[in-house]
């Protein structure tokens, strides 16, 4: 493969939601710790996260919600971060990831992104006129030596990875909660299929492991067929 091996690693509710509501103010990282019956086992998701790949793919929108633009400069980690962003990260947010990352790769279609104002030895910018995830992954492997990468993005971008057949493994931690809401983001969003001629765009899975965690959490691991 002329790209890294990819794993989608996400936390979701039993009904497949990856957020607690339809606005950016609603977020599982902020809201799950407030819910009795959910907060008790939440730590397991973050503990497993520490064992994932040393390359991590995120989005600027998610990182803005997490507070990256306002956070104090962190200590450097051995993880290299790839962030897809056009308008959510500020210059401060870019500096935060430069401080945090072994290598920080920003992917953008915005030629005026604040990242261009930042000078850092570990900052790399992949600029595309139109987003092409396959080309991004090929660049990560061929130019940066990325062999494996964990994907932690939103439902819309996850759908792009799925439809373009760019997922190799799925690793899901299921929280014991039902969220509901037609407009609340799910594991895979994007446009719905409309004809049976598009069935090849589905992602059939082979179960690798199903683990019952503590406090009614479940970990599901699949290989994409």
The answer to whether 5 touches 147, Cβ cutoff 8 Å, is yes
Give the pLDDT mean for 208-219. 98
| 161-179 pLDDT, tens digit each | 999 999 999 999 999 999 9
Task: Work out the widest C-alpha separation in the chain, in whole angstroms.
Answer: 50
Backbone angles phi, psi at 110, to 5 degrees: -100, 105
Among 136, 154, 150, 151, CA closest to 62: 154
| Residue 1 confidence (pLDDT) above 80 | no
pLDDT beyond 90 at 24? no
In the chain, the percentage of residues whose pLDDT exceeds 70 is 100
Three-class DSSP labels, the chain: CCCCEEEEEEEEECCCECCCCCCCCCCHHHHHHHCCCCHHHCHHHHHHHCCCCCEEEEEHHHHHHHCCCCCCCCCCCCCEEEEECCCCCCHHHHHHHHHHCCCEEEEECCCCCHHHHCCCCCEEEEECCCCCHHHHHHHHHHHHCCCEEEECCCHHHHHHHHHCCCCCEEEEEEECCCCCCCCCCECCCCCCCCCHHHHHHCCCEEEEEEEECHHHCEEEEEEEC
pLDDT at 25: 87
- Rounded to whole angstroms, the Cα distance separating 8 from 29 reads 17
In a 10 Å sphere around its CB, with 0-12 CB exposed, 13-18 middle and 19+ buried, how is residue 224 labelled? middle
pTM score > 0.75 for this model? yes
More confident residue, 137 or 24: 137
Cα angle 67-138-96, degrees, rounded to a multiple of 5:
20
pLDDT digits (tens, 9 = 90+) for 41-75: 999 999 999 999 999 999 999 999 889 999 999 99
pLDDT-derived band at 81 (thresholds 50, 70, 90) equals very high
Percent residues over pLDDT 90 in the chain: 95
Q: For residues 87 and 108, is the Cβ–Cβ distance under 8 A?
A: no
């Amino acid at each position: 493969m002329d790209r890294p091996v990819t794993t989608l690693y996400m936390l979701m509710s039993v009904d497949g939601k990856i957020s607690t509501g339809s606005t950016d103010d609603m977020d599982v990282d902020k809201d799950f710790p407030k819910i009795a019956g959910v907060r008790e086992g939440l730590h397991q998701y973050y503990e497993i996260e520490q064992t994932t790949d040393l390359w991590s793919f995120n989005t600027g929108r998610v990182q803005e919600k997490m507070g990256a633009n306002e956070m104090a400069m962190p200590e450097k980690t051995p993880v290299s971060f790839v962030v897809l962003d056009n308008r959510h990260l500020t210059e401060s947010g870019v500096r935060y990831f430069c401080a945090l990352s072994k290598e920080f790769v920003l992917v953008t279609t915005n030629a005026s992104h604040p990242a261009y104002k930042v000078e850092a030895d570990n900052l790399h910018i992949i600029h595309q006129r139109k987003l092409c995830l396959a080309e991004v992954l090929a660049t990560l492997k061929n130019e940066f030596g990325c062999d494996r990468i964990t994907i932690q993005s939103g439902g819309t971008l996850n759908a792009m990875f799925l439809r373009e057949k760019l997922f190799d493994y799925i690793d899901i931690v299921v929280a014991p909660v039902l969220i509901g809401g037609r407009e609340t983001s799910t594991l895979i969003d994007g446009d719905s299929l409309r004809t049976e001629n598009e069935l090849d765009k589905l992602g059939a899975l082979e179960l690798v492991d199903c683990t019952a965690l503590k406090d009614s959490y479940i970990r599901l691991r699949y290989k994409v067929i």
